[in-house]
Amino acid sequence: MNLTDSKAKLAVGGALCGVVAVLLAIFGNPGNMAICIACFIRDTAGALGMHQAAVVQYARPEIIGIVLGAFIISVVTKEYRSTAGSSPMIRFVLGIIIMIGALLFLGCPLRMVLRMAAGDLNAYVGLIGFVAGIATGIVALKQGFSLGRAHETNKMNGAVLPVLMLGILVMILMGSSLLIASEKGPGSMHAPVWLALIGGIVFGALAQKTRMCFAGSIRDIMLMKNFDLFSVIAALFGVMLIYNIATGNFHLSFSGQPVAHAQHLWNILGMYIVGLAATLAGGCPLRQLVLAGQGSSDAAVTVAGMFVGSALCHNLKLASAAAAAATAETEAVVGGPAIQGKIAGVICIVVLLIIAFAGNKRK
C-alpha cells in the first residue's frame, strides 16, 4: 500500500484524516480541537499526575491510537525499523521546547490548521511565525546542522513507546480510579473511548503511510518546491472547512474562538518556536509520534520531552490562558501568556538559535 507515489493518493489520505477529525469533533472533543497533539499530550500528562491543572487532565486515547496505528501499519508493511541515533539530550530538550511554544500559541501545527479551517484568524497569525521558524531551521540545515545518523538497534528498543502507550490504555480500560480526569473545562470534553482509540489508530496509520508532517510540508516547498506533503495538509484542511461551514461552526474572527487568544506577538513567537524546533528535530509533534510508533527511539525521546514540557508549562505557569468573554460572575479574560511564559519563550528562542547555529554540524 503506497500512498506517496502521487499527489492524488496523498490527498485522499489527508481527506480521510479529516474525516476522522470530523467524527471526533461531532462526538465530543473540544471546539476547534478535534485532534491536537500538544493539547492531548498535555491532557494525558495531567491524567498521569505530571501536572495539577484540573481543567486539562484526561488520558486521550487518540495519542495512544496514533502511536499504535503507526506501529501496526509499519509492522504489517515491513517498514518497522528499530533505530536510534545521537544527541538524545538535545532531542529531549527540543521536545520540551516544542511543547512550550505550542502552549504559548495554544495548539500544535495540527490544531493550527484545524483552527484556520474554523475561521480563527489568530491561527493565521500563528502561521506566520511557524513558516518563519521553519525558514530559520532551513538556514541551519543548509549550514550543516545535524543531530547525527540513526542506526539500527535491538528490535525491542523501538517498541518501548508503543508498549508504554498500551500500558496507559490498560489503565484507561481498568477504570478512572487509576487516572485523573477533569470534571470541567477542555479535559472534560471528549469522544467515547472506543471511538477516540479507533480514530487515533486510523489517523496514525494514515499519517505513517502519507508521511504527514506539517513542518516537513512547508520545508519541502521552501527547499525543493515539492508540494507532495502539502497536498495531505490541504486535503485535511478542506474537509474540516467544509464541515465547519456546513455545521455553522465557521466564524471568521479574532475573538470568540474556543481555547485561543489574540495576543498576536505571542501567537507568532509561539509557533516560531514550534516551527524551528520541529525542523531541527526532524518533524512536527504528530510526525514525532508516528516515527516513534514505527521504531525510532530518537523520536520517542522527543515525545518524552514533550510530556515533560507539558508538565513544566502548567506547573510553572508558562502556558497561555485562553481569552474569555465577561459573564455575570466573572470579568473578561484577555488571554495570552503571563510574564513567566514570555520569559520562557524568549529563553527557548535563544536556546534554539544556539543549538541551530553553534551546535551539531555534519562531519
Does residue 104 form part of some domain? Answer: yes
pLDDT tens by residue, the chain, 363 residues: 667 778 899 999 999 999 999 999 999 999 889 999 999 999 999 999 999 999 999 999 999 999 999 999 999 999 999 999 888 999 999 999 999 999 999 999 999 999 999 999 999 999 999 999 999 999 999 999 999 888 888 888 889 999 999 999 999 988 767 899 999 989 999 999 999 999 999 999 999 999 999 999 999 999 999 999 999 999 999 999 999 999 999 999 999 999 999 999 999 999 999 999 999 999 999 999 999 999 999 999 999 999 999 999 999 999 999 998 877 777 888 899 999 999 999 999 999 999 999 866 655
Q: Angle between the 264-281 and 285-293 helix axes, to the nearest 10 degrees?
A: 30
Does residue 363 form part of some domain? Answer: no
Domain that holds residue 283: 7-358
Q: How far apart are CA 285 and CA 39, in angstroms?
A: 11
Does residue 85 form part of some domain? Answer: yes
Q: How far is CA 150 from CA 115, 296, 300, in A?
A: 35, 8, 13
Does residue 1 form part of some domain? Answer: no
- Phi first, then psi: give them for residue 175, nearest 5 degrees: 125, 155
Does residue 151 form part of some domain? Answer: yes
Which cell is 189 given?
Answer: 470534553
Domain count within the chain: 1
Q: How far apart are CA 39 and CA 239, in angstroms?
A: 21
pTM for this prediction: 0.95
b/e per residue 185-224 (b: at least 16 CB within 10 A)? bbbbebbeeebbbbbbbbbbbbbbbbbbbbbbbbbbbeee
User: Which one-letter amino acid corresponds to residue 3?
Assistant: L
Does residue 2 form part of some domain? Answer: no
* Of 67, 64, 91, 63, residue with least CA distance to 80: 67
